[in-house]
Structure 1
């Protein structure tokens, strides 16, 4: 192993992800290509062969070995085992997660300990966001969203509560918005009304909702600015986003809270309302109140 790769290999997926993100600016082009594919498609890395993974990532099989060694592993098989372990931990059913959680907290005061676990995880997420958030990025995102004729809000599955809150808060603050959801399957028609004068706020976390990613791509191709909230520099949303926030949520027992994401969403909503209020003639300056 060369001096370049002489480092301790991460023992779990979170550690591996953190290492890749920390070194993403210095990764050689082909290795960065594999890294992006690996974080976007962890299941394929876990179960695919070197040949199939290399073909899907658009590289030679030897690049997979170089990628593994670059991160401190002695070969691709060793790195692959991290992805397989991640799959066992993250893709367990909710029943399995509950059983594992029960084994961890025991029976005595279990409910209180579960609450403590989620409070601790939420606190960790909030602290990380407070340390990592770029204030200039926050200002630019609020300015872009406040200047939109309509804010189109897109999210699905675990991210949907964020979209629902944003639509509620912006509505209360008098900001025209459109939550893209339709029981009748009319999302494409709803999105067809978006123009470059609007802005799309898109939220998606791994495993990313394919429909959300595709809709973000379509909007970007039509010149609609996209502000994204996601969890990785290698998220497929990043390539379509004009501005994007990286939010990492800590988990407890395999369950992740949305504490940091909701805090960021509240800041965006109130900031947008405040900026729009300042633009209205004859309005006294003052902070917008958070919707209750």
Structure 2
């Protein structure tokens, strides 16, 4: 069981002081990884001894072992995908984790990811939508594993509004988009650890153009969120070797639904026009 799951499972049994520390850890996992125990305790407004006591109450020998487990959980080791894949195979070969158990763990992790994602974004959700709604033009990018999230936002958004551009990096065309950024535009960057260098270059170009930056990412301490006006945070935990993007897709779908509701009847009318066109064009299979 990973340290996040241990915190959640034992949360209700902790003392008020340890409970407050546990909540701070769950809300600031990335900072736990990069800060010393003393610096992290100062940010959490608790004593370092409190963090040590919490780690030991969860079965760890000390803070360093607890922190080390979070580093592994976040996929920040060398060859993280390979290491996790090898661990799955080793467990299957030794019968420590039979395939039917792995199947159940996968869906349990997705449910937990959705719960955490819902909790983390409720207070910023409307702000994120307001920024998008007041943008002259919207750009969105997500590279490598985060591309499906960016593409799904782009595709659905285009059904009721047209002021959006997908930065897909096709033929290394990033510069063609960067040169068009203005202070009236908003750039949505999507990504999770390890973060793509291309995403960072988009952020720097947006900053140079004074564009507004929004992030859909895995942590408030990620380089995407650190440079964003507002961020939607999704959890990527799971028993597979690759980070899960299910909750990233879900929070994006929620954001699109909220945006359509804000756009009102005009959005519904635009959606109706596009839907009629798709049906009339034969885009969908019909065997009648």
TM tier, smaller: 0.5 to 0.7
Which residue is 1:99 aligned to? 89
Alignment map for 1:167-246 (pairs within 5 Å): 167-246=154-233
Verify the 8 A CA contact 1:198 1:225 in the aligned structure 2. yes
Q: Please state how far the C-alpha of 1:165 moved relative to its aligned partner.
A: 0.8
User: Which of 227, 238, 258 matches 1:271?
Assistant: 258
Which residue is 1:22 aligned to? 24
Verify the 8 A CA contact 1:247 1:261 in the aligned structure 2. yes
C-alpha distance in structure 2 between counterparts of 1:24 and 1:115, whole Å: 25
Kindly tell me: are residues 119 and 66 of structure 1, through their superposed partners in 2, closer, same or farther at Cα, counting changes over 3 Å?
closer
> Cα deviation per residue 1:180-201 (whole Å; 9 max; x = unaligned)?
1123111122122121222111
Which residue is 1:53 aligned to? none
C-alpha distance in structure 2 between counterparts of 1:268 and 1:13, whole Å: 26
Verify the 8 A CA contact 1:13 1:83 in the aligned structure 2. no
Q: Please state how far the C-alpha of 1:67 moved relative to its aligned partner.
A: 4.0
Which residue is 1:149 aligned to? 136
Which residue is 1:54 aligned to? none
- RMSD of aligned Cα (Å): 3.9
C-alpha distance in structure 2 between counterparts of 1:65 and 1:242, whole Å: 28
Kindly tell me: are residues 86 and 283 of structure 1, through their superposed partners in 2, closer, same or farther at Cα, counting changes over 3 Å?
closer
Number of equivalent positions: 240
C-alpha distance in structure 2 between counterparts of 1:24 and 1:129, whole Å: 12
Which residue is 2:246 aligned to? 259
Q: Please state how far the C-alpha of 1:20 moved relative to its aligned partner.
A: 8.5
C-alpha distance in structure 1 between counterparts of 2:89 and 2:21, whole Å: 31
C-alpha distance in structure 2 between counterparts of 1:269 and 1:212, whole Å: 22
Please give the TM-score of this superposition, normalised by the length of structure 2: 0.66
Q: Which SS does the other structure have where 1:194 is aligned?
A: coil
Gaps of 5+ in 1: 1-10, 26-31, 42-56, 58-63
Runs of 4+ in 1 over 6 A off after TM superposition: 13-16
Which residue is 2:125 aligned to? 138
Verify the 8 A CA contact 1:200 1:224 in the aligned structure 2. yes
C-alpha distance in structure 2 between counterparts of 1:223 and 1:73, whole Å: 43
